[in-house]
Chains A and B, each alone.
Chain A
Amino acid sequence: MKNTGLKKEISTSPPQKPSDALNPFEEFRSFRFRKEEIPLDRIVQSAELVMDQIRLGYERLLEEEAKELVWMVQYNTIIKAYEVAEKYIKEIDYSAEDIEDFCFALENTQKIPYLIPGPAGIYISALCNYAKEEEIVLKLSELKTEINLVGFRLPKGKRLMVEGDTGDFTGIGLEGGEMVIEGNAKNWTGAGMRSGKILVKKNIGLHTGEWMMGGEIYVGGRVRGLGNIVEGKVYEREKLVYPGKARNPNIYY
């Protein structure tokens, strides 16, 4: 760090000749503009560079997986899209803040032409899974779009905290990671999860924990409907609702 007292001096001009007085910009003659760099310039520039790379990866994912701008949520399409996303993400050096910035950039059509919720969610999940940080906080409460598929395959040792709501298929195929959603989550949350923990502080939608093979889902508010759960536990307001006799799968509560 440098210390203060650095002076960008504006040199004193010599006495002006009478003929110079005609120039209305005479006062500026002696002003020498010096381009001063501060660390902010470097930080912003490098963040922009990373964002460009992330954006490019997403655009390539769309080119490969959503050619007609249509994308169906199926087991094989999810797996394939994730593999493509992995391929591009592995090459990028990014931080958790870059993921958050990307989420907001998705809503800005000037920067990213298409927001297709499925591939976008898969791509964000891959970004979270390959991030350097063990704990990732995404402040998404002002995001107008709820992102689907967030937390797909979140591995053990990773903690993903989402401030705001998430869309469908939150935390599907969870692989030991921990997800905390401060708001609501929609349908099919925790579907096919193998291990790990999902905590939804508000309400959760239908088909919760469909084909889940293990792990726990905690819901602070109401569970609208449970899916066909194979193994694992679901709690509603600290009360165990699966396994238990009180609730049948896929019934609207």
Chain B
Amino acid sequence: MTEKPIEEERLQAIIEEMWPRLKRKHLFPEIPVPKVGKVTDLSIEEDGKDDSTERRVGLEMKEKQMTINPSFLSSLKGKMTEEGLIEALLDHGITHYTFCPWDFQTHLMLYAEAKKVMGDKESAKQATNYFIDVIADTHCVKKRATEIPELHRNLKKGNVEEVIASLYQRIWGIDLGIPSSNKEGKDHSEIVRRLARIPYLDRSRWSESIRKFTRSLKPLLLLAQQEQEARGGKGDSNPQGEHDMNHYSYEEIDEGLREYAQKTMGLSEFREVVEDFSTELKELGYGIEGGMGRGRGAHIDADILFYMKLAEHYSIPVKRLPLEKTGALHPHSHTPWEVGLPYQDIDLWTSLGKIMPGITQTWKKKEGKGRGKIEGTPDCLIIIDSSGSMINPRKNLSYAVLGAACATNAYLRNNSKVAVYNFSDAPMGGRDILDYTENREEIYRALCKYFGGGTALDLEDILPLIKNKKDLDLFVITDMKITNLETLIGFFGKIQNRITAVHIGENPYASRFEKAVEKRKNINIFTVKKKEDIPHIVLGSIREYFNPVNRGH
């Protein structure tokens, strides 16, 4: 009973002894001391029995915690020294954090490129894993003293692994004992020749390189997939550890999605990747906070997630207005500061003078007792046109929705509420109304709704949203081809709220609107000739709008 823990303790002691040297070798990465313990091995779990003595998972990486599988170590006993084996596994694991894939965005990018070639989710994931491993191991062999080649010499290999090992022989110049033709007498030298030409260590060319890598390996991957299906879906484990979402923390995934949305700027590409990883994202409970889905098992709306992540790139300050409140706000408690939160609320004393997410603390304010005028941000009503002349936000990137999303974020960040009036032919029922809320997901869902068809506002719908709201901002995004434009102009002429109106392109309706409201100081209009300008001009103009010089009241 006590034998196993003693063995694990002994291995743990070896790791702890070598860890300072390993950290030093890899230039001190911020990684906790690896552990020895049980790891998840799907190939064993699926059929309950363990017949793959040398194809076990040797290393598991969850977030930044590496765990060494003692069973894997014992399976290679006599072939390699325990220390050498542990060092090789850890060298490999550390390099994933320090070189490839480095972050979740890179992982997603590599996967998306591999999928373009394979067309299938599972084989694309496989190709990505092989590519990531080749880069990590090659980087290690080139830059560090490592036992990785010795590990590869002793690992049991399938068809693909044998080709990869031949590749290593060629590009590392180290004999790994791989013959030129495999057990079935097949000569893969042509594939190896193609693979050897890829500049694995050139990060700037990884997207091009993985396509070439996958293209060359495709016939073998398809064959491996067929064999796996014939075995009832049971695949071999990767002894050097699987590459899945477990590698990354929630924050890393969040940032990765944000960066990927910004980099691709393509809704369909983003949607495809998110849908492919939806199981893993749901497993992680992704988006419970901030409202993507409703916990485990909930459907992930990739389109909404795309606009959420993209909008997070644009942070706009909102100039506060004197608002009547029952009491002034006073600092009540601390909360961690995140990028995008206002700087003015940062508590420098508890933040040790540093502006850094995770360290910096910001004051959470609460309303006290009393009555008077204090500076604050009003709520906002977003009026968005989703008629046929506007882009369908679920098919293509809609700059109108993105602009509205950025405005939403700006108000929500300042603890204000946002309501949405999404309309096409409102009198005929083509509209969606969302009452004032702080729920980001609900707001985005309302913004992303697309009706198509005609464009007509119904003031009867808007008036209840404005009524009883003394301080309220209005944000209108439309192409101005509104059939009852005169009604809208008349309505805007009567109210004193701050209004930001954005319209796309030049058209007679827009000119008419501009002329009609040009003397109104509380209305700012932005004409955009290129749709791509919308997010910038909207954001810039909001800043300009809130500038006291331009303020209407």
Interface residues of B in 144-193 (CB under 8 A from A): 144-145, 147, 149-150, 153, 169-175, 190, 193
In Å, the complex CA distance between A38 and B200 comes to: 12
Judge whether B117 and A40 touch: CB under 8 Å.
no
Return the chain A residue nearest B201 by Cβ.
Answer: A40
What are 29 A-B pairs with beta-carbon distances under 8 A? A1-B169, A1-B173, A1-B175, A2-B173, A3-B175, A4-B147, A4-B149, A7-B145, A8-B144, A8-B145, A10-B24, A10-B25, A27-B28, A31-B27, A38-B138, A38-B141, A38-B172, A39-B170, A39-B172, A40-B142, A43-B196, A43-B197, A44-B197, A47-B197, A95-B193, A97-B193, A97-B194, A104-B212, A142-B116
In Å, the complex CA distance between A108 and B208 comes to: 10
Question: A36: CB under 8 A from chain B?
Answer: yes
Question: B515: CB under 8 A from chain A?
Answer: no
List A contacts of B172 (CB < 8 A). Answer: 38-40
In Å, the complex CA distance between A4 and B175 comes to: 8
Question: B199: CB under 8 A from chain A?
Answer: yes
In Å, the complex CA distance between A189 and B32 comes to: 63
In Å, the complex CA distance between A141 and B201 comes to: 26
Q: Name the prevailing secondary structure of the B interface residues.
A: helix
Q: Which of A38, A39, A40, A141 has the most CB of B within 10 A?
A: A40
Q: How far is the CB of B440 from chain A (nearest CB, A)?
A: 38
In Å, the complex CA distance between A4 and B144 comes to: 12
List B contacts of A47 (CB < 8 A). Answer: 197
Return the chain B residue nearest A8 by Cβ.
Answer: B145
List B contacts of A20 (CB < 8 A). Answer: none
Judge whether A44 and B199 touch: CB under 8 Å.
yes
Q: How far is the CB of B164 from chain A (nearest CB, A)?
A: 14
Interface residues of B in 178-233 (CB under 8 A from A): 190, 193-194, 196-202, 208, 211-212, 215-216
Judge whether B24 and A101 touch: CB under 8 Å.
no
List A contacts of B27 (CB < 8 A). Answer: 28, 31
List A contacts of B175 (CB < 8 A). Answer: 1-3
Interface residues of A in 1-31 (CB under 8 A from B): 1-10, 27-28, 31
Q: How many residues of A contact B (CB 8 A)?
A: 29
In Å, the complex CA distance between A45 and B150 comes to: 27
Question: A137: CB under 8 A from chain B?
Answer: yes
Q: How far is the CB of A55 from chain B (nearest CB, A)?
A: 15
Q: How far is the CB of B219 from chain A (nearest CB, A)?
A: 10
In Å, the complex CA distance between A107 and B258 comes to: 28
Judge whether B215 and A142 touch: CB under 8 Å.
yes
Question: A139: CB under 8 A from chain B?
Answer: yes
In Å, the complex CA distance between A39 and B198 comes to: 12
Q: Which of B24, B116, B144, B201 contacts A27 (CB 8 A)?
A: B24
Return the chain B residue nearest A7 by Cβ.
Answer: B145
Judge whether B150 and A4 touch: CB under 8 Å.
yes
Q: How far is the CB of B387 from chain A (nearest CB, A)?
A: 34
Interface residues of A in 133-162 (CB under 8 A from B): 137, 139, 141-142
The 7 A-B pairs at the shortest CB distance, nearest first, are namely A40-B171, A7-B145, A39-B173, A4-B149, A1-B175, A8-B145, A44-B199
Interface residues of B in 18-40 (CB under 8 A from A): 24-25, 27-28
In Å, the complex CA distance between A43 and B194 comes to: 11
Judge whether B153 and A139 touch: CB under 8 Å.
no
Return the chain B residue nearest A139 by Cβ.
Answer: B215
Return the chain A residue nearest B198 by Cβ.
Answer: A44
Interface residues of A in 30-55 (CB under 8 A from B): 31, 36, 38-40, 43-44, 47
Q: How far is the CB of A22 from chain B (nearest CB, A)?
A: 18
Return the chain B residue nearest A133 by Cβ.
Answer: B190
Q: How far is the CB of B436 from chain A (nearest CB, A)?
A: 48
List A contacts of B467 (CB < 8 A). Answer: none
Question: B530: CB under 8 A from chain A?
Answer: no
In Å, the complex CA distance between A3 and B149 comes to: 9
Return the chain B residue nearest A48 by Cβ.
Answer: B199
Question: B49: CB under 8 A from chain A?
Answer: no
Q: How far is the CB of A132 from chain B (nearest CB, A)?
A: 13
